[in-house]
Amino acid sequence: MSSAASFYPAFEAPLTGGGASVSTASELLDTLPVGIAVFRHGGANQPVCVQANRLFYEWSGIAAPGLIGVSPRKISVLCDQGSLIEQIAEVIAGGQAARGEHSWSVQTQTGIQHFAAQVAVQKTRSGQQAVLCVRDRSPEIYAEAHLRQTMLSDDLTGIPNRLSFMEKLETELERAGRKGLVVLLLNVDRFTRINESLGATVGDEFLIALARRLTGCVRDRDCVARLGADEFAILLPTVNTEAGANEVVERIHQRLEDPFTLSGGEVYASATIGIAIAEEVGTTAEELIHQADYALRSAKSAGANAVEKYVARDHSREIGLFHMEAELRRAIEREELTLAYQPLVSLETGRIVGVEALSRWHNPERGFVSPGDYIPIAEESGLIVPLGRAALRHACERLAYWRKTIKAASDMHIAVNVSGVQLKRDDIVATVHDALSNAGLPGSALKIELTESAIVSDPERVREVFHRLKALGCKIAMDDFGTGYSSLAYLQTFPIDVLKIDQSFIAGMLDSEDSQNIIDAILSLSRALHMTTVAEGIETELQMRAIRAAGCDIGQGYYFARPLSEPDLIAKLGQSS
């Protein structure tokens, strides 16, 4: 759009000067897309209009030449603009034109009209005149408003988008530093199935219908927004309790019980919801959204149609786990994790026939970190892959060294746990092959231990991996047998060499007939399938004697030794020799 300044040069000379006639100048002014009015001293030392173009007359609502001799204070489009009129008077009195534009709005019969003006100086023989150049900003204002509305609305559903929602949330939170308002985050359960089964167009129909239905569940002051994809947010500025929030959630769930009638047929849907309440003064919009998002993720872990409220204690724990993950990553990169070794003892001879390698982490700040704390983090983050590789490599290296230097370890084997996640994400066969080759060990020196749950996720792939590991000469052990997804078919079709009886059965075998019966069944089954058995968690001599009498092959537990450092293991091997 042309600026007012671009028209000022036309008034650097008198309007009647330069060889142009008054009529020619007036005709020229009438062609301009801005309103022009010229003022000079009138009676009582007040400015009066001496000339105006067609557009300025139109905006003033007066027919020409009705503005001639009229004070700007009596011209409808200017009468309330005191500072602008003062600028006009100052210019006429010999002052300089002010920089910048003066903006204002006027109520007209057709609506609000927005103007902007600048005052220019025109020197004449009789003194200075003020030339007022006015432009209509209405198209610009309306375009900005439309652009803002577009920026703040979701293209598909027409309801507020994330930007708009955050602005509204910030406004509500800023009201006297208030607290107590509620934010709900809602995620449609299995929305991808609608898109995949019925197509993206029907998926869009569903989201539009859902937006309408959610809007019908709240009050006028509340705000429903689509944050993206199938995630919606609801702001409840007048609700300040969990009970109040639950009422709205219940209303939403009830409304979602009715089917959505779409072009692809009837669609049933449910939603998982996270609740966050601004319980402290000073809570920011970002913090509240983050809290609601955490509650939503917690709800998702509970299954479809679940609801969870944000609990700071749980979030603090998650933050702690996040920091632990970062520390674990650094520890793996710096090779700070070590191995401990728990002896595997022949129940017949009492001799150490092998050891199980167990991951250990001593953090400089946290101290000893339990594997039960960091192994799940490693599995979730994928760090279990480098952690597992390092454990296999180091275990094979140490066993090779012991076999060469310690008589009692000359035919000893080492057992290494492999996570189901590692089995799925890593080329475990290549990893095992490299670890054995680099250490110069035969495959028979390594036993790979996996839990039953590792098999269930992809049994065909696991069967193939087991056979390839067996081709390397390795033995396969099923850990914690009897506590997971036990299936006799797995024992029959998978090349499993060892069954490890879970310590929970060992702990109860002397007091529980059921535990003893389960142990007897496992031992009978292993003998029929020509498998070796290992009893985990033996803590007393009575347990050792009972499991030995039952026919178990190998024992492991605190009765024989706790997990040992390498120097302590070497010392124990020296004692046994």
**Residue 148 resides in a domain:** no
pLDDT exceeds 80 at position 352: yes
Task: Give pLDDT tens digits for 63-94.
Answer: 999 999 999 999 999 999 999 999 999 999 88
* 281 lies in the same domain as 352: no
| pLDDT digit string, tens, across residues 260-292 | 999 989 999 999 999 999 988 788 999 999 999
The residue segments making up the domain with residue 123 are 4-142
**Residue 400, CA distances (Å) to 273, 339, 437, 447, 470 in order:** 55, 15, 11, 14, 20
3-state secondary structure of 457: coil
Q: Is the pLDDT of residue 19 over 80?
A: no
For residues 388-415, give the mean pLDDT.
96
Q: Are residues 197 and 276 in the same domain?
A: yes
Residues composing the chain: 577
Decide the pairing of beta strands 127-136 and 182-188. unpaired
- For residues 226-244, average pLDDT: 93
Distance CA 73, CA 79 (A): 4
pLDDT tier for residue 368 given thresholds of 50, 70 and 90: very high
Question: What CATH number is given to the structural domain containing 428?
Answer: 3.20.20.450
Residue 200: what pLDDT? 92
pLDDT tens digits, 539-557: 999 999 999 999 999 999 9
Domain with residue 292: its CATH number is 3.30.70.270
β-strand partners of 265: 262
Domain end (from 142, 165, 192): 142
For residue 130, the one-letter residue type is A
- 225 plus 298 within the same structural domain: yes
Q: Please report, for the domain that includes residue 24, its CATH number.
A: 3.30.450.20
Do 282 and 380 lie in one domain? The reply is no
Please give the Cα distance from 568 to 563 (Å, whole number).
9
- The mean per-residue pLDDT over the stretch 186-203 comes to 93
Is 209 buried (19+), middle (13-18) or exposed (0-12) by CB count in 10 A? middle
| Angstrom distance (rounded) from CA 113 to CA 140 | 11
CA dihedral 156, 157, 161, 164 (to 10 degrees): 130
Quick check: 237 pLDDT over 50? yes
Who has greater pLDDT, 110 or 352?
A: 352
Quick one: the chain helix, strand, coil %, rounded to 5?
A: 45, 25, 30
Pick the residue with more confidence: 65 or 99? 65
> Please, are residues 355 and 412 in contact by the beta-carbon 8 Å criterion?
yes
Same domain, 108 and 194: no
Return d(Cα 137, Cα 115) in angstroms, integer. Answer: 5
Residue 213 is assigned to a structural domain of this protein: yes
Considering the domain boundaries, does residue 316 fall inside one?
A: no
In the predicted structure, residue 8 carries a pLDDT above the cut 90: no
Hey, is 447 helix, strand or coil?
Answer: strand
Residue 295 has pLDDT above 90, yes or no: yes
**In the listed set 88, 120, 142, which residue is the last one of a domain according to the structure?**
142
Let me know whether 163 and 126 are in one domain.
no
pLDDT recorded at residue 366: 87
Between 22 and 52, name the one with better pLDDT: 52
By the 10 Å C-beta count (0-12 exposed, 13-18 middle, 19+ buried), 223 is classed as buried
Nearest to 160 by CA among 101, 225, 69, 63: 225
Strand ranges, E, within 218-300: 223-228, 231-236, 260-262, 265-267, 271-277
139 prior amide bond cis, ω within 30? no
Q: Is 83 exposed, middle or buried (0-12, 13-18, 19+ CB in 10 A)?
A: exposed
- DSSP E strands in 311-351: the ranges are 338-346
pLDDT in the model for residue 454: 81
Residues 78 and 215 in one domain: no
Is 47 inside a domain boundary?
yes
* Average pLDDT for 451-458: 79
Q: How many domains is the chain built from?
A: 3
Band (pLDDT 50/70/90 cuts) for residue 328 is very high
DSSP string, 159-198: SB-HHHHHHHHHHHHHGGG----EEEEEEETTHHHHHHHH
- Is there a single domain that holds both residue 340 and residue 299? no
The least confident of 107-121, 353-367, 558-572 is: 107-121
What pLDDT does residue 447 have? 98
Least confident segment among 162-166, 416-420, 456-460:
456-460
List the single range of 89-103, 157-171, 482-496, 520-534 with lowest mean pLDDT: 482-496
CA pair distance 449, 415, nearest whole angstrom: 7
Looking at the domain assignment, is residue 320 inside a domain? no
Average pLDDT for 516-524: 92
Last residue of a domain, one of 106, 122, 142: 142
Whole-angstrom distance, CA of residue 420 vs CA of residue 418:
7
Clarify whether residues 94 and 225 are in a common domain: no
Of 216, 196, 194, 186, residue with least CA distance to 262: 194
Instruction: Say what the pLDDT of residue 484 is.
Output: 60
507 inside domain: yes
Same domain, 358 and 493: yes
pTM over 0.85: no
Percentage of the chain beyond pLDDT 70 is 93
- Which of 39, 23, 18, 4 minimizes the C-alpha distance to 127? 39
Residues 32/134, Cβ–Cβ less than 8 Å: no
149 in a structural domain? no
Residue 315 is predicted with a pLDDT of: 67
Domain-embedded: residue 321: no
**pLDDT band for position 145 (50/70/90)?**
confident
Q: Which of 160-169, 202-211, 301-310, 315-324 has the lowest mean pLDDT?
A: 315-324
Is residue 169 scored above 50 in pLDDT? Answer: yes
Asked whether residue 249 falls in the same domain as residue 369, the answer is no
Which range of 35-39, 176-180, 456-460 scores highest in mean pLDDT? It is 35-39
Helix (H) or strand (E) holding 39: strand 35-41
Tell whether 230 and 92 lie within a shared domain. Answer: no
Q: Average pLDDT of the chain?
A: 89
What is the pLDDT, as a whole number, of residue 99? Answer: 78
